[in-house]
Amino acid sequence: MVHRVMAIDPGLTRCGIAVVDADTSRKVRLVDVRIVRTPTEHEIGERLAALEAAIIEAIKERRPNSVAIEQVFSQHNIRTVIGTAQAAGVAALVAHRSGLPISFHTPSEVKAAVTGSGTAAKAQVASMVGRIVGQPVVGPADATDAIALAICHAWRWPALQLQRAPKVVAS
């Protein structure tokens, strides 16, 4: 069975969206990757609405089975954290309204899944992502990060399903 994952690397200025198909043997095929950009001179509501429209469009076009969103983590720049959190909130809301299960993964969890080390450098993540999908990934780090997130989620999907399954109690 093939599981189609949409992954969102949230950002207000640049938001990475990737879609992969993964089978039970952990083979991954890159279906789509795109970067959504919103101009910094636009009003926040307009930027969030543009992000919402782009995610809705990607879901309609690619029809994923689940959505993974990178967990917002503390950064030194509070403006960046706020914008990232707002973008993640929009992504979660769109996925929820689309009836898709949502999972959040931390950057270190994604790095560990793809490279074996939760502290891997961006270049190492990009290299492994290219090897996993069988092609070099071009574009900004947001694209690579979104693909890595999709791979992480696809590989963890079976375990996540077991965790979410209703518990059966013997009587």
Q: Is the pLDDT of residue 162 over 60?
A: no
pLDDT recorded at residue 80:
81
Q: Which stretches of 10-105 are assigned E, i.e. beta strand?
A: 14-22, 28-37, 66-70, 102-105
Q: Considering the candidates 41, 43, 142, 145, report the single residue annotated as catalytic.
A: 142
Cα distance between residue 89 and residue 74, in whole Å: 16
Residues 16-33: what's their mean pLDDT? 95
pLDDT one-digit tens code per residue, 110-143:
999 999 999 999 999 999 999 999 999 888 999 9
Q: Provide the whole-model pTM.
A: 0.91
Closest CA to 105 of 56, 66, 57: 66
Domain range summary for the chain, segments of one domain joined by +? 3-164
Q: Considering the candidates 9, 23, 32, 43, report the single residue annotated as catalytic.
A: 9
- For domain 3-164, give the CATH number: 3.30.420.10
Active site residue 70: yes
Q: Is the pLDDT of residue 169 over 80?
A: no
Active site residue 142: yes
Active site residue 21: no
Cα torsion 122, 20, 138, 75 to 10°: value is: -30
